[in-house]
Each structure stands twice: as structure tokens, then as C-alpha cells.
Amino acid sequence: MLKFRTSGYSGFSVKYSSFFDNKIAVATSANYGLAGNGRLYILSINPNGQITQDIYFDTQDGLFDLSWSEINENHVAASSGDGTIKLFDLHVGTYPVAVWNEHHKEVFSINWNLTDKSSFVSSSWDGTIKVWSANRKQSLVNLSSSSSTFAPTTKPSSVPLSKSQKPGSNLTNTQCVYQAKVSPHAPNLIASVNASSRLQLWDVRSARPLQMDILCHNGLEALGLDWNKYRSTVLATSGVDKTIRVWDLRMITNKFPASHSLNGSNSAPQNEMVGNQLPVRNVTWSPHSSNKLLSCGYDMTARIWDDVTDKRAPRTINNSTGCINSFNNHKEFVIGGDWSLWGEPGWVVTTGWDEMVYVWNSNRRY
Amino acid sequence: MKTTESADSNQVFEKFHHYDWENDLVYQAGLKNIYNSYFKANTSMTPAKKQQIITNSKVFYFKKTFDVQIDLGQYGRWVQESCSPGFSNTPEISLEHQPQPQQEQGEQSSLSYDELVELIVAGKEIPGIRKIPNIVLEDQASRSVLSQRRKPWEIKDDDEKEKEIEIEISSAV
């Protein structure tokens, strides 16, 4: 286990480079992201087991997510609480080399398109999802997540922003699109999750881009999302209801159940992983295996799950044996995590509000 | 004699400390020059070194514009003494904050979540927020020299396709 302290800054997101074996970037915010500056760290994992800081970039507002560029090894895009997205260059330092400013509120997620590679997608508390080209100042596509949803179906938010905070005293609203990600198999397909408990699917080529809109976490906020890298129709989501759910788009026959009933019932997931004591913030499928999943939780654990959907009985949910490892070294909420793309499979990195970055082997117990 | 001198330098330091660098277009233009000509050529320069150069540029600008020489050593001590609670400080030009000693930074943010919420609700100033200049170095982006790598799942896909082709070939033969 290797570690690095982001002193004075709470970790919100951490990602491995798409080019370098040993580089990671960490998006952080001072004061838990409520007020104050942000800082993007670029770190190197050295052969001697030390994590060292290559460079950092300070921003006026807190940073909530980041994505390494897929076309330039020196570029990292970071999304900020002030609605901006900034592109930083490892060789330039201090200030960004590009800024995109269209979102009206916090930009909570940013993810590069893994197949198109010239574009990326962002999602915001302003209720929109935007597709951008790295070469253009204006967004290419603007999708409104909230117009398609019915606010009354949503129960009051209870994402705890601190372990000492009482549920219900929320600071969020139902518009938030917590995450949006482009499919790693189809460059025009975007999945998103929002505070209205919806999992939405978008095809940006279509005149009516919204392809699916289902209630995915019992009316409670849906926080995390990822596409499976090996099974192109499979997605995982996580939420305030403390569960992780696995969905197979082929099996969801009613793509718009919410439009028929204000209380739109849950569609049936393929699998459900239960065990977290508090909401699950983030889920990430392994790049090396079709069934391994990393989760980051408000219960201060990062967990490794095995999605053991039974092939002989595919609609049987097997949630009792899912959790195969739990990392308990974080002392506060675990917010961001990623799998190492290169080298020996199984290494992951996690970060959280304890101002710590841990690099650890998911095949070992700590 | 000594008291008047220190009173004077207090005033000077105060002016320097609170000077509106962000909105001084002449200074900002000069700063941009520093970035373009100096930092661009020295990509290996540490953030601490850059901060030092920026601080020096402010001292230089003060001397040139107001004919006032700032002694950075004395200024640093003055910042430490004066920047008690209630005094809005700008750590970016305080030499004491280089090169980011970890403990100090950690303590700085050690407000608990609840303390922080109290400050926000009461509309009070949150300590330690720095002003970051809104500068974009658009023409300085570096070019990519590395070729794109295939992701692990893309490599496996290709391997499987090759195997399928091999099987097809072997069955055809």
C-alpha cells in the first residue's frame, strides 16, 4: 500500500493516466468542497514505492472531477464548483491552457470519450449534460436531464455531506446530474445518473436523444455510474439507498416506465450488491476483468465486488457473496477511485475527505 | 527614529499586501510576459520557484511604479505578525508558505465540517481562500509526442478476434 497526503484538500476524484504507467491525477477541494480553492495534483508512483508530486494546479473554486485527455498525454481536464471546465498542461504549469464556461452550477463529472477520443462529456448540478470537443470553445451537444423527469417521484435527498451531518439536512437539489459517461464501445451513447434517482441513456446522433429513463435507486439520489468494459450492454449504478446495481440494457424492456406513473416503479436490475452502511458514491468496472467492480462509499470503505450473475439463471440476483474485499484505511468518506490500466492487474487508487490518496492491490487484504 | 521607520514600513507592507494585483492591467500584462517568455522555456521549474519569481515581479513592479523598495525578509516577518485572525491574508505572496510545508497546510484547513457550515450560514469569511488570477495560456499547450495506447479490453478484444480468425482458418483447412 502506497500513500500520499493532499494536505488541506479533500479528495474528490482520482484517475490513472491513459498514457503513462505510473502517473495519477487527483482533483481536490479545500473545505470539503463547500467553499474555497481547488487543487489538481499530478503524482508519480516511483519504483521505490514512493508517491511524489510532479506538479499541482490551483483553482479559484473546488474541483470535483477530472479526466485525462485521450489524445494528449500532457493534458488533464478538471471540472469545478464555479461551473467551469479547465484543461491543464503538465508542461505549462500554474494556469490552464483552455477553459470551457457554459454550466451554471457545479460541474460534478467529466469523462473523456474513450473511442472517439476527440471529445468529452460533462454533467452538472444545473441539470444538463454537455458534450465538448477539445478544440472548440462552445459545447457540441447540450442535453437536459431534468426536463424529462418528474420531481414529485423524488424523496428528500439524504446524501450525508459529513459523517456528523444529519440525514435530510441536504444542500443539494433534484436537478443534479451526478455522473455522465460515454460508452467505451459506442462513441455516441451516453449514460447518466441524477438526483431524481434516474438512470438515463442518450444517443447524441438522434433527434430525440433520450433513449431510456428509468428509476434506478428507489427514488433516492443516484450518485455513481460506469459502463462495463467487456459487456457492452452492462452498466453499474450506485446510490443513496446504499446499493450498487448492475443493469443489462437488453433486459430493460420498458425504457420509459416513469412516464406512465408518477411513482414509476424500479426497473429490475440484473444484480444488486448490498453491504455498504451508507450511500455509495462511485463505482468503476475493472479494465482487466468483466465482473470486478470497485466502489467508493460514505461508510469510509472502498470495496471490490464480484458481479456473479448466474449465466444459467440470469435473472437471479446473487447479492450475498458479492463483496470480495474491503479497504478500510480511509478515515473519512471515500469519494473517488480508479483501477490501474497498465502493469499488473488489480491495483487501484482511492481518495477521499481524509486528504489521503492510497494506491493498493485489490487482491490483498490490508 | 526607529518607530517612525517601522511605522512607515508597516504602511508600505500593508499597501503591498492589499494591493489589487488582479485589476492592475499594467502588472497583469507584465505577468503574462513572464509566463510567455520565462516559464514556458523552463518546463521543469517547480511551483515554489515560479511563486518566488511572481513575488519578485511584484517587488520589482512596486519599486518601478511607486518608488518603494520592499524587503521580502522584513515583509515575511510582518505578514506573520500582522496576519492574525480578522486580517485578510493572501498566502500566495507570503514567503512563509513556500514550499508548501504539509503540516501547516493541513492545519490551515482543519476547520471541521460543522464549523465550516456555521461560518457559511452566518455569512462570515472563510479563512485562507486565495485569489487565483483568471489567466488562460491558450497558445502554450504542448504537443503530444506519445502514441495512443490500446486499453486492456481493446487488446483482449483483438486477441479474441485473432483467435476466432485462427479457428476459422484451421476449420477451413
Q: Check whether residue A296 and residue A362 sit in a common domain.
A: no
Query: Does residue A75 sit within a domain?
Result: yes
Per-range mean pLDDT, top range of A124-128, A254-258, B52-56: A124-128
Peptide bond into B99 cis (omega under 30): yes
Sheet holding A347-352, edge to edge: A2-5, A356-361, A347-352, A334-339
User: Domain ranges in chain B?
Assistant: 2-122, 138-172
CATH number at residue A236: 2.130.10.10
Residue A274 shares a structural domain with residue A167: yes
The confidence band for A167, taking pLDDT boundaries of 50, 70 and 90, is very low
Q: Where are the alpha helices (DSSP H) in chain B?
A: 2-18, 25-33, 47-66, 72-82, 102-108, 113-121, 152-172
Q: Is the residue at A8 inside a domain?
A: yes
CA distance A213 to A266: 11
- The ipTM, to two decimals, is 0.85
Burial status of residue B57 (CB atoms within 10 A of its CB: 0-12, 13-18, 19 or more): middle
Full DSSP string of A250-305 = GG---S-GGGT-TT-PPPPPSEEE---SS-EEEEEE-SS-SSEEEEEETTS-EEEE
How does residue A150 score in pLDDT terms, banded at 50, 70 and 90? very low
> Is pLDDT of A185 > 80?
yes
A241 and A363 together in one domain: no
Task: Check: CB of residue A295 under 8 Å from CB of residue A274.
Answer: no
pLDDT in tens, B41-96: 676 777 777 777 888 888 888 888 888 888 888 888 787 777 544 333 333 333 33
The shortest CB-CB distance from B142 to any of A91, A114, A341 is to A91
Question: How many structural domains compose chain A?
Answer: 2
User: What is the span of the domain harbouring residue A237?
Assistant: 145-328
- Asked if B145 lies within 8 A of A73 by C-beta distance, the reply is yes
Residues A266 and A345 in one domain: no
Check whether residue A310 and residue A344 sit in a common domain.
no
pLDDT recorded at residue B170 = 66
Mean pLDDT of A199-215: 95
In a domain, A335, yes or no: yes
Put simply, whether B131 touches A (Cβ < 8 Å) is yes
Decide if A123 is inside a domain: no
Question: Is 0.90 topped by the overall pTM?
Answer: no
Q: What is the pLDDT of residue A259?
A: 54
Instruction: Give the three-state DSSP class for B140.
Output: helix
Of B39, B129, B146, the CB nearest to A19: B146
Asked whether residue A324 falls in the same domain as residue A354, the answer is no
- Crossing angle for the helix pair B72-82 and B2-18, nearest 10 degrees? 80
B111 CA: distance to closest CA in chain A (Å): 7
Same domain, A324 and A313: yes
Note whether residue A128 is domain-resident: no
Whether residue A176 has pLDDT greater than 80: yes
pLDDT above 90 coverage of chain A, percent: 78
Position A152 scores a pLDDT of 39
**Which of A4-8, A171-175, A253-257 shows the lowest mean pLDDT across its residues?**
A171-175
Regarding whether A306 and A189 lie in a shared domain, the answer is yes
Does A143 have pLDDT greater than 60? yes
User: How many Å apart are CA A157 and CA A155, to the nearest integer?
Assistant: 6
A89:B142 CB<8 A: yes
Contact between A34 and B117 using a beta-carbon 8 Å cutoff: yes
Q: Could you tell me if A345 lies within 8 Å of chain B, comparing CB atoms?
A: yes
- Least confident interval from A91-95, A175-179, A307-311: A307-311
d(CA B132, CA A60): 5
With a cut of 70, say whether residue A162 has pLDDT above it: no
Q: Do B106 and A355 touch (CB under 8 A)?
A: yes
- Same domain, yes or no: A209 and A337: no
Residue A129 within a domain: no
Neighbours of B19 (CB within 10 A): 18
**Mean pLDDT score of chain B:** 73
Instruction: Measure the CA–CA gap between A213 and A18, rounded to whole angstroms.
Output: 31
Among B57, B115, B117, B146, which would you mutate to test the A interface (most chain A Cβ atoms within 10 Å of its Cβ)? Answer: B117
Distance of CA B102 to the CA centre of its chain: 15
Q: What's the confidence (pLDDT) of residue B47? A: 72
Predicted pLDDT of residue A153: 39
| Coil, helix or strand at residue A191 | strand
Would you state the pLDDT for residue A41?
A: 98
Which positions 207-236 of A are in contact with B (Cβ < 8 Å)?
229-230
Residues A52 and A164 in one domain: no
Same domain, A263 and A354: no
Name the nearest CA neighbour of A341 among A114, A10, A6, A28.
A114
Which pLDDT tens digit goes with each residue over B4-45?
455 578 888 888 888 888 888 888 888 877 777 777 767 677
Q: Are residues A90 and A13 in the same domain?
A: yes
pLDDT at position B112 is 82
Q: Alpha-carbon distance A175 to A161, whole Å? A: 17
Identify the residue with better confidence: A96 or A34. A96
Residue A301 counted as domain residue = yes
Q: Is it the case that residue A271 has pLDDT exceeding 80?
A: yes
Residue among B43, B135, B146 whose CB faces A73 most closely: B146
| Of the candidate ranges A217-221, A239-243, A267-271, A335-339, the one whose mean pLDDT is the lowest | A267-271
Digit-coded pLDDT (tens) for A13-66 = 999 999 999 999 999 999 999 889 999 999 999 999 999 999 999 999 999 999
List B residues 44-73 in contact with A (Cβ-Cβ < 8 A): 45, 47, 50
Can you tell me the mean pLDDT for A7-15? 97
* Dist. CA B150–CA B158, nearest whole Å: 10
Of A132-141, A160-169, A222-231, B58-67, least confident by mean pLDDT is A160-169
The confidence score (pLDDT) of residue B101 equals 33
Indicate if the pLDDT at residue A267 is higher than 70: yes
pLDDT per residue as tens digits for the range A289-321:
999 999 999 999 999 999 986 565 555 565 556
More confident of the two residues B69 and A106? A106
